[in-house]
Chain A
């Protein structure tokens, strides 16, 4: 069971805006640790989408944005495209007994 909780699936039509939530606790996101987001296509390695809560690496379209609030984070994708259909994972640091990096359980985005 992941420390960071994500919805198993979300969906949206092309052109729409979708958000993916990542709920943590006072020992991870709520403690101020940075959140990263990754995109993964079937059979491929994950790709970094967002680092440091809201920063996009070079080459990531500005359709992807993210934010944090309290012990939660969210990834927003605007102008949804068929090519955005993938799995998305949040990641942060857990300072509790586990004291390690942690990933969310992942969210499957389906473009209708």
Chain B
């Protein structure tokens, strides 16, 4: 069974760096064709794709946020870490990680973790 779970702080102050961890099981991110993406959703708003890391360590970022985002994977721990710098209130959202296998869509999602940016 494939599962993903996001973890991180619920409250972050403006200008800080947000670090979110996606811990997964049931698949290997080293397997060819495997990808993990991060998506966020501000309260009452649409989904926004943030970033993706591939089995071969290729990384892709939302161009409008690229300067603030960084992805890394820790294969032995089955984790993907997303960092976002210079946090501002509009970054308040539920952050999801999700798996994609062989370009067959984001087929398994985590439950999401809610992050509020406030001083």
Contacts and interface: CB of A to CB of B under 8 A. Distances in A.
B48 interface: yes
A16 interface: no
B109 A100 contact: no
Contacts of B10: none
Interface in A11-47: 34, 36, 38, 40, 45-47
Contact of B106 (A46, A52, A98): A46
Contacts of B107: 48, 51, 57
Interface stretch (A67-75, A76-84, A103-111): A103-111
Interface in B75-119: 96, 98, 103-107, 109-112
A45 to B, nearest CB: 4
A91 interface: yes
A87 B63 CA distance: 26
A47 B110 CA distance: 10
Given A99-B63, A100-B63, A101-B52, A106 B46 contact: yes
B106 A36 contact: yes
Contacts of A57: 104-105, 107
B105 A36 contact: yes
B61 interface: yes
Contact of B46 (A36, A97, A100, A103): A103
A103 B49 contact: yes
B63 A98 contact: yes
A55 B101 CA distance: 14
A48 B105 contact: yes
Interface of B: 37, 39, 46-49, 52, 60-64, 96, 98, 103-107, 109-112
7 contacts: A45-B96, A46-B109, A57-B105, A97-B63, A99-B63, A101-B52, A106-B47
Given A55-B104, A103-B39, A103-B47, 11 more contacts: A38-B106, A45-B96, A45-B98, A46-B39, A48-B106, A51-B105, A52-B103, A57-B105, A91-B106, A103-B49, A104-B46
